[in-house]
Structure 1
């Protein structure tokens, strides 16, 4: 197998030119550097060329970029550069934020007709309207949310992984309404004994399983919660077998 090429670029460790002479498959870069180099005259060409071979892109510290997204042109360039990455399999976005959460911007022009299809979308430390905005921008097959708050809805996807998600209002119904093939809940504080009891209660009242046909996996829970999970799984299995 050919060697994979990896590159990490931060605000404190920038480069003069991106390696266009070899296949760059993994790129981790601070969001503000990504934007400045895209729109700047000196590194824009080499960065865009390098992106054509990238399969795994990680954009870190995107909160710093919020002020730049006030400019609709910059927002469009940001998402257009991602859309143009034909080999991209997974994108990871950390700390994405909008300039004004109370007044989300319109979708970028490049996404007017359709969102960006992506095999895997990983989102970390992104909340509320900023998270909802990203759901409008991407169409993932597999979605991972880690340390995200105020999840108001979930997009259609085959696989959903929730990690370290806190408790907040209305998330019970949001999660209950999700439909896919595989659900993984890993070390999420929202999944306590009461939450699992509510899930079980929904099935008892409706006399049918929640998430029928979905493979569900739980990780990172202690004895008391795990006991409730086993009761939930047992009832769910029996209802599916009816």
Structure 2
């Protein structure tokens, strides 16, 4: 379905990041809030592979994706572990949680008139990601794209008291949404302004865990910045 985001490679990567950077560290029924759950498959796959005693509360604006997610949640009897609301986290009462997780919209474009408008991440692609880092959660796991002004995200995190706790990087090929001529042209312009980094048809996608409790001596921000701008 074209009205639901579909990229198995990216979804699998997000799922692996959730498992390795969040779920395995969750003690004593930790609670997790998710921004933009999509069809729910990354979290559902993670829950099926891991013992997790807490609750994940997701927020998804796309009604088609929300319905698909709830159908699968019911199918796997995960209603007590994964609850998704058909609404926007930014407009909610900001539920308390140990972690905020997201594969946020990160497509840069001059406007929202693109193949899938809900994937619009602002003019530089980092707008939504940077907003998530202003909500005040102690730990934030987000996917950060090398063509979406990654330096601004690292700077925004530092301004809000975050250090890079851990990160994983995946080289990805430009896909259906990022190859739309209007989007690709805009990304090329961002590269000219040192705001997008890619090589040929490939870019880096990083799963980054930002934490407020992390000792600054252990901060991996410089290492992340070097990797994300190396293409």
Give the TM-score normalised by the residue count of structure 2: 0.32
Q: Which has the larger radius of gyration?
A: 1
Give the structure, 1 or 2, with the largest relative contact order (CA under 8 Å, sep 6 or more): 2
Give the TM-score normalised by the residue count of structure 1: 0.31
